[in-house]
């Protein structure tokens, strides 16, 4: 019954903004490996490491899907920290692959990775879970090549909000315009935007819209995709952090040609799918289901088989 005693921590695997990750094994079977993620819980909320938080984790424990990292157990350690016992994924993440100059990949590989990401997000949304922090760094790779969505904003909601500023800059490049404008009500469309940004980055191997502040991110989104207006996005001017744009600086919303030109390796059908993910108005963005039903998956080239995907050496 003592979950804590079921696992033995081995070496430290890495440290992120909100957590320290350890390799671990089963006490009863040292060959079964796990990653234990010890969340740096905000002291102020420690007492409140409460039913809500636990309930959310428990819920994630039940989300079982090939493309979502498995959460095997949850326990609190003596120092009251929250420990998540996760599937051990030894082959790094998509960000490492994108950045590794020695790794070459093609259209079939991008299609395979995008398929795994899209199925993961479809499954989350089907179960009323939003991820909210999809980025290449949160797409971990299993030894069989399977890509798994990790880090369900969990760490964030438990962690000390003051920690992050000193440690590293939070990546805003995958954040949708409605969140940047301070929308309080949002939907699965936030994840779809992030999928689009990951798709674009897989194609060009650099982040597509890389702002250096939230304001700059908005500006760059407008330059890249067009300026949000009441015409193309009814209600946008009412959002809390909306910034009016001078009429002379309005950039029209980009059409098919733009996407085909910017992302030639996607092919015309792929460019079309990307465009459907990059709609400024969240209501116009495609849903995870629509993504999975898109023609692109059935267009040549076929997605690479997972065991044939490039991986780090
Ligand atoms: P970050 O978001 O900065 O990567 P994390 O706290 O998520 O921070 O993870 C820190 C490091 O621990 C990662 O860079 C990775 O090397 C390792 N790691 C995280 N989760 C796993 C896992 N499930 N399996 C293997 N290694 C992991």
pLDDT one-digit tens code per residue, 155-185: 555 554 444 333 333 479 999 999 999 888 8
Could you identify the atom of ligand 1 that is nearest to the CA of residue 138? 2
Task: Name the average pLDDT for the chain.
Answer: 89
Q: Which residue has the tokens 């301070």?
A: 182
The β-bridge partners of 22 are: 12, 36
pTM of the model: 0.92
Weakly modelled stretches of the chain, pLDDT under 70: 1, 41-56, 153-170
Alpha-carbon span 244 to 262, nearest angstrom: 27
CB of 93 within 6 A of ligand 1: the answer is: no
ipTM: 0.96
Residues 219/212, Cβ–Cβ less than 8 Å: no
Alpha-carbon span 71 to 65, nearest angstrom: 11
pLDDT of residue 157: 54
pLDDT of residue 296: 98
Contacts of 57 (CB under 8 A, 6+ apart): 71, 74, 82, 84, 154
CA nearest ligand 1 atom 5, residue: 16
Alpha-carbon span 180 to 129, nearest angstrom: 21
pLDDT of residue 58: 73
Give me the active site residues, please: 133
Alpha-carbon span 115 to 302, nearest angstrom: 11
pLDDT of residue 164: 39
Alpha-carbon span 230 to 245, nearest angstrom: 12
Q: In 3D, which of 142, 174, 171, 123 has the Cα closest to residue 278?
A: 174
pLDDT of residue 29: 96
pLDDT of residue 47: 53
DSSP, residue by residue, 93-150: BHHHHHH-TT----HHHHHHHHHHHHHHHHHHHHTT-------GGGEEE-TTS-EEE-
pLDDT of residue 166: 31
Instruction: Find the 217 Cα to ligand 1 centroid distance in Å.
Output: 26
pLDDT of residue 79: 73
Instruction: Find the 45 Cα to ligand 1 centroid distance in Å.
Output: 24
pLDDT of residue 62: 83
**Strand 71-76's sheet: what is its strand order?**
7-15, 19-26, 29-39, 82-87, 71-76
Residue of 16, 140, 163 best suited for mutating to test ligand 1, as the one with most atoms within 8 Å of CB: 16
Q: What does the CA dihedral 94, 100, 106, 111 come to, rounded to 10 degrees? A: 0
H-assigned helices in 183-242: 189-204, 214-225
Q: In 3D, which of 310, 303, 268 has the Cα closest to residue 98?
A: 310
48-67 pLDDT per residue, tens: 555 556 666 777 888 899 99
Instruction: Find the 83 Cα to ligand 1 centroid distance in Å.
Output: 14
């Amino acid at each position: 019954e003592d979950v804590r005693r079921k696992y033995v921590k081995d070496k430290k695997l890495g440290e992120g903004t909100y957590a320290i990750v350890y390799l671990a094994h089963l006490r009863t079977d040292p060959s079964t490996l796990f990653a234990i993620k010890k969340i740096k819980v905000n002291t102020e909320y420690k007492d409140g490491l409460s039913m809500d938080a636990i309930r959310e984790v428990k819920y994630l424990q039940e989300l079982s899907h090939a493309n979502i990292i498995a959460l095997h157990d949850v326990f609190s350690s003596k120092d009251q920290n929250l420990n998540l016992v996760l599937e051990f994924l030894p082959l790094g993440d998509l960000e490492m692959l994108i950045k590794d100059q020695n790794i070459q990949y093609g259209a079939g590989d991008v299609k395979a990775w995008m398929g795994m990401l899209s199925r993961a997000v479809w499954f989350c949304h089907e179960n009323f879970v939003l991820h909210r922090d999809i980025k290449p760094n949160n797409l971990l790779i299993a030894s069989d090549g399977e890509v798994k969505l990790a880090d369900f904003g969990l760490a964030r909601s438990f962690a000390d909000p003051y920690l992050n500023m000193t440690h590293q800059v939070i990546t805003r490049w995958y954040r949708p315009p409605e969140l940047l404008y301070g929308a309080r009500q949002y939907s699965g469309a936030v994840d779809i935007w992030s999928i689009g940004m990951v798709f674009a980055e897989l194609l060009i191997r650099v982040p597509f819209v890389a702002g250096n502040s939230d304001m700059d991110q908005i500006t760059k989104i407008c330059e890249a995709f067009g300026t949000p207006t009441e015409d193309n996005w009814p209600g946008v001017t009412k959002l809390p952090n909306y910034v009016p744009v001078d009429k002379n600086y309005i950039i029209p919303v980009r059409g098919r040609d733009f996407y085909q030109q910017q992302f030639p390796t996607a092919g015309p059908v792929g460019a079309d799918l990307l465009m459907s993910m990059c709609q400024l108005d969240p209501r116009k963005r495609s849903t995870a289901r629509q993504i999975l039903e898109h023609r692109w998956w059935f267009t040549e080239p076929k997605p690479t088989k997972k065991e044939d995907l490039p991986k780090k050496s």
